[in-house]
Amino acid sequence: MTWDEMAPLLWESTWQTALMVGWSTLFTVLFGLPIGVALVVFDQGGLRPLPVLKSVLGVVVNIGRSLPFIVLMIAIIPFTRLVVGTTIGTAAVVVPLTVGAVPFFARLVEAALREVGADVVQAAQAMGAGRTAIVRKVLLPEAMPGLVAGLTVTVVALIGYSAMAGTVGGGGLGDLAVRYGYQRFETLLMIVTVVLLVVIVQLIQSLGDAVARRLSHK
Amino acid sequence: MIQASGLRKSYGETVALDGVDLHVREGEIYGVLGRSGAGKSTLLRCVNLLERPDQGTVSVAGQDLTALRSGELNLARQRIGMIHQHFALLSSRTVAANVAFPLEIMGVARAERERRVAELLDLVGLGGRGGDRPHQLSGGQKQRVGIARALAGNPAVLLSDEATSALDPATTQSILDLLKRLNAELGLTILLITHEMHVVKSVCDSVAIMAGGRVEESGSIAGLIRTPGSRLTREIFPLPEPAPAGSVTLTFTGEPQRPVVSDLVRKFDVEVSILGGSIEDLAGEAVGRLRVALTGETAPALAYLRERGLLVEVAA
């Protein structure tokens, strides 16, 4: 396979990966952040202790985390059809990617929020701040470096999950490596894809680290 | 200004407060002194209901806080400032934004917030440092930010939770001086807890000594000094305890330089040997405590001393 033949394939697959990861990252933050906040706020000794609700939430999150992504993707096919109307293609992959990443990210959000000192939260309570203000003005801003670090890890994990998207016709770099590199013995393409994935992950990690460092004022 | 009565609080088996009453008058600096575990921190946190007492009531500026619902309690808390041992500043915010935080909570408009923040930073001697981050400041400066933040809502009362315990002696003194100045200039009532006698000696008007979840002794410092057997006096003045049998301990306030001993020797047929003594500045007043052994015509000598207004304690 010549470079000219590979270039459009690589370009298209990279774009598909970017789409899948981009959209699922967006939805993961949208759902995962509130769940992570809920895990902290509803905890015993949290701002609004509701231990039963928190336990139920914890169990649901753990179930989501215990399924291998490829199993999850197939298991939730009916749900995917319900949401996007189809079970194949790039859009259809965003649903299992999001479902898979939300519990993962929620736990990272929970861990980041727990790092915020109890003394700062109490100081805010002593100033008469309500629960919403404490979450918005204290917990989230103070945990921001940790949240960014968690998001970076999540995006990298999503790139990994997205490699399995080929199973349901989602395309992407992983699918390209399997179909051409493995099944058609195009070793060069395989190598180029691997290098490309390594570079992308490196870039994302470095970017995430840089942002987290800039936000940290410790 | 602060009235707490019958406070009880326990955590499981541990009793943190075992029936505590507290009465802090308007405009005074009131110290709660005790070792760690004495219950003083719990007491302070009960005053703004960060801890809800199991029993008892707390009222601040005439408002019974224990009767309020959470929204009303938050409003009341905006009028009670608090400073903390480890400052509890938000690292994600600048110094100015930290001071602005309580104003945001109160819904003060931006322009007014900025004006007030500048004024507060000037008040605590940090004018021009508003753009810095807390981690760029020294411990003493961080506590000054804490104080500016605590004063943002024009509180009637300031609660200080071991505010100088994490600071070195010189910085401690500068923070205490600042608290004293704010007390004098703004008429701010201050309730502070500490394990350092030095803090009580240098700023407090009144004190409560706590141990095992109870107040062992409380009252104005001037009054306690004049009370025979006072624990405060014994702790402030480093004389050996118990006093040797027959020895006389004299406590005198106001004019410690009065020639008491030479008067005694001149007027009565007594021998005086000094066993120990020292002079301390307490609540702006010089107080001396002297232990002597008297021999000879002691009864009229002691009567004379009492007549001169000295507190005379004869060890049995």
Give the Cα separation of A80 and A84 in Å (integer): 6
Give residue B279's pLDDT band: very low, low, confident or very high (50, 70, 90).
Answer: confident
CA dihedral B215→B219→B224→B226, nearest 10 degrees, is -150
Q: Which of A11, A153, A165, A149 is nearest to A73 (CA)?
A: A165
For residue A69, the one-letter residue type is: F
Mean pLDDT value across chain B: 92
**CA of B149: which chain A residue's CA is closest?**
A127
Beta partners for B279? B288
What is the pLDDT averaged over residues B35-56? 93
What is the pLDDT averaged over residues B287-303? 89
**Model pLDDT, residue B262:** 84
Direct distance between the N- and C-terminal alpha carbons of chain B, in angstroms, rounded to an integer = 41
- Does residue B255 surpass a pLDDT of 80? no
- Nearest CB partner across the interface for B101, out of A119, A122, A127: A127
Residue B30 and residue B208 in contact, taking contact as beta carbons nearer than 8 Å: yes
Beta partners for B290? B250, B277
Q: CA-CA distances (angstroms) from residue A29 to A100, A154, B12, B31? A: 12, 10, 40, 48
Give average pLDDT by consecutive 10-residue segment, chain A, 218 residues. Answer: 87 93 97 97 92 95 89 89 87 92 97 95 95 96 97 95 82 88 88 93 96 89
Residues of B in contact with A129 (CB under 8 A): 74, 105
For residue B148, the one-letter residue type is: A
Rounded to 10 deg, the angle between the B95-106 and B139-151 helix axes is 20
pLDDT digits (tens, 9 = 90+) for B228-247: 888 898 888 888 878 888 88
Residue A10 and residue A196 in contact, taking contact as beta carbons nearer than 8 Å: yes
Give the Cα separation of B107 and A130 in Å (integer): 12
- Does residue B258 surpass a pLDDT of 80? no
Buried/exposed A117-127: b ≥16 CB within 10 Å, e otherwise:
eeebbbbbbbb
**Model pLDDT, residue A171:** 86
pLDDT digits (tens, 9 = 90+) for B143-181: 999 999 999 999 999 999 999 999 999 999 999 999 999
Task: Give how far A14 is from chain B: nearest CA, Å.
Answer: 36
- How does strand B311-314 pair with strand B63-64? unpaired
Between residues B5 and A1, the one the model is more confident about: B5
Give residue B257's pLDDT band: very low, low, confident or very high (50, 70, 90).
Answer: low
Residue A192 and residue A6 in contact, taking contact as beta carbons nearer than 8 Å: yes
**CA of A143: which chain B residue's CA is closest?**
B92
Give the Cα separation of B240 and B234 in Å (integer): 9
ipTM summary value? 0.87
Report yes or no: A140 at the B interface, CB cutoff 8 Å: no
What count of Cα atoms within 13 Å lies in the side-chain half-sphere of residue B238?
Answer: 1
pLDDT digits (tens, 9 = 90+) for B174-219: 999 999 999 999 999 999 999 999 999 989 999 999 999 999 999 9
Q: Say whether A126 and B104 touch across the interface (CB within 8 A).
A: no
Task: Give how far B102 is from chain A: nearest CA, Å.
Answer: 6
Q: Say whether A119 and B77 touch across the interface (CB within 8 A).
A: no
Best residue of A127, A138, A148 to probe chain B, by most B CBs closer than 10 Å: A127
Reading the block at residue B141, the tokens are 């400066």
What is the pLDDT averaged over residues B265-281? 88
Entry field: residues in chain A: 218
Report yes or no: A119 at the B interface, CB cutoff 8 Å: yes
Where residue A93 falls (left for φ over 0; alpha for ψ -120 to 50; beta otherwise) is alpha
pLDDT digits (tens, 9 = 90+) for B20-38: 999 999 999 999 999 988 9
Report yes or no: B10 at the A interface, CB cutoff 8 Å: no
What is the pLDDT averaged over residues B286-314? 88
Give the Cα separation of B6 and B17 in Å (integer): 9
pLDDT digits (tens, 9 = 90+) for A174-202: 889 888 888 888 899 999 999 999 999 99
Q: CA-CA distances (angstroms) from residue B291 to A38, B201, B247, B255, B312? A: 65, 21, 7, 17, 10
**Model pLDDT, residue A178:** 86
Edge-to-edge, what's the strand order for the sheet holding B157-161?
B80-83, B157-161, B189-194, B29-33, B206-211, B214-220
What count of Cα atoms within 13 Å lies in the side-chain half-sphere of residue B228?
Answer: 10
Positive or negative: CA dihedral B141, B142, B147, B152: positive
Give the Cα separation of B170 and B168 in Å (integer): 6
**Model pLDDT, residue B242:** 81
Query: Can you spell out the DSSP letters for B146-211?
Result: HHHHHHTT--SEEEEESTTTTS-HHHHHHHHHHHHHHHHHH--EEEEEES-HHHHHHH-SEEEEEE
Q: Say whether B48 and A126 touch across the interface (CB within 8 A).
A: yes
Run of H or E residues at B104: helix B95-106
Give the Cα separation of B311 and A206 in Å (integer): 74
% of chain B surpassing 90 pLDDT: 68
Residue A8: other Cβ atoms inside 10 A: 9
pLDDT digits (tens, 9 = 90+) for B116-139: 999 999 999 999 999 999 999 999
Q: Which of A65, A67, A97, A61 is nearest to A79 (CA)?
A: A97
The answer for B 69-108 residues in CB contact with A (under 8 A) is 70-71, 73-78, 80, 82, 84, 86, 88-93, 101-102, 104-106
Residues 6+ apart with CB under 8 A from A199: none
